[in-house]
């Protein structure tokens, strides 16, 4: 069974891109992930790509896109939605086909940290936070859990409880 995951953020240029690529890399066929934003900037932050490449995570096809692509057919049916920025978590989301499970995994925005070395460190911290959470999520027996159980587990991963 393959689970479809959508990682959301406002601009879809940094954190959600990291999440998409990490889910696809770590999910090894068990998960197929995409990312999107409510107000996409249209450009992937180059430090996001640099961070992924540093860790050997493939990032081909990374692009900043609107969440509208996933709210209408022929979009894939999404099983899980993760918001990774507080703005996206507070926004009114489209009604997603299939009523996916949702969880908020807030990660501080690394995109505008200055100077550049501090930005690289912030991206590394965001990468590590997402990797830890994604590893924990993928360790769950998702195939035998209900959507409610998996959503609750995903929320607990964020809070550490």
State residue 101 phi and psi, 5-degree precision: -75, 145
Give the single-character DSSP code of 78: P
Average pLDDT for 17-36: 96
Alpha-carbon distance of 43 to 25, in angstroms, equals 21
Give the pLDDT score at 40: 93
Task: Enumerate residues 6+ apart whose C-beta is below 8 A from 14.
Answer: 44, 45, 47, 48, 109, 110, 111, 123, 126
Give the pLDDT score at 71: 80
pLDDT tens digits, 43-75: 999 999 999 999 999 999 999 999 988 887 788
Give the pLDDT score at 152: 94
Q: How confident is the model at residue 76 (pLDDT cuts 50, 70, 90)?
A: confident
Query: Is the omega angle on the peptide bond into residue 160 within 30 degrees of 0, that is, cis?
Result: no
Q: What is the rounded average pLDDT for all residues in the chain?
A: 91
**pTM, to two decimals:** 0.93
Asked if pLDDT for residue 111 goes beyond 60, the answer is yes
Alpha-carbon distance of 143 to 161, in angstroms, equals 22
What proportion of the chain, given as a percentage, has pLDDT over 90? 74
Identify the residue with better confidence: 100 or 56: 56
Give the pLDDT score at 88: 52
Residue at token pair 């932050």: 45
Give the pLDDT score at 94: 61
3-class DSSP assignment, residue 37 = strand
What proportion of the chain, given as a percentage, has pLDDT over 70? 92
Ramachandran area for residue 89 (φ above 0: left; ψ -120 to 50: alpha; else beta): alpha
3-class DSSP assignment, residue 19 = helix
- Number of other residues whose CB lies within 10 A of the CB of residue 2: 11
> Domains in the chain, please, with CATH?
3-150 (3.40.50.2300)
pLDDT tens digits, 146-159: 989 999 999 999 87
């Amino acid at each position: 069974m393959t689970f479809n995951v959508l990682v959301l953020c406002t601009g879809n240029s940094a954190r959600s891109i990291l999440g998409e690529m990490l889910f696809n890399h770590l999910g090894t066929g068990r998960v197929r992930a995409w990312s999107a934003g409510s107000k996409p900037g249209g450009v992937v932050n180059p430090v996001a790509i640099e961070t992924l490449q540093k860790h050997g995570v493939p990032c081909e096809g990374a692009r900043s896109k609107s969440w509208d692509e996933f709210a209408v057919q022929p979009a894939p049916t999404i099983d899980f939605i993760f918001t990774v920025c507080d703005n996206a978590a507070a926004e009114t989301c489209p009604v997603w086909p299939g009523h996916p499970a949702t969880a908020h995994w807030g990660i501080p925005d690394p995109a505008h940290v200055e100077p550049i070395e501090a930005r690289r460190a912030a991206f590394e911290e965001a990468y590590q936070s997402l990797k830890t959470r994604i590893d924990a999520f993928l360790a769950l027996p998702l195939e035998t859990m209900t959507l409610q159980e998996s959503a609750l587990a995903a929320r607990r991963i964020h809070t550490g409880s």
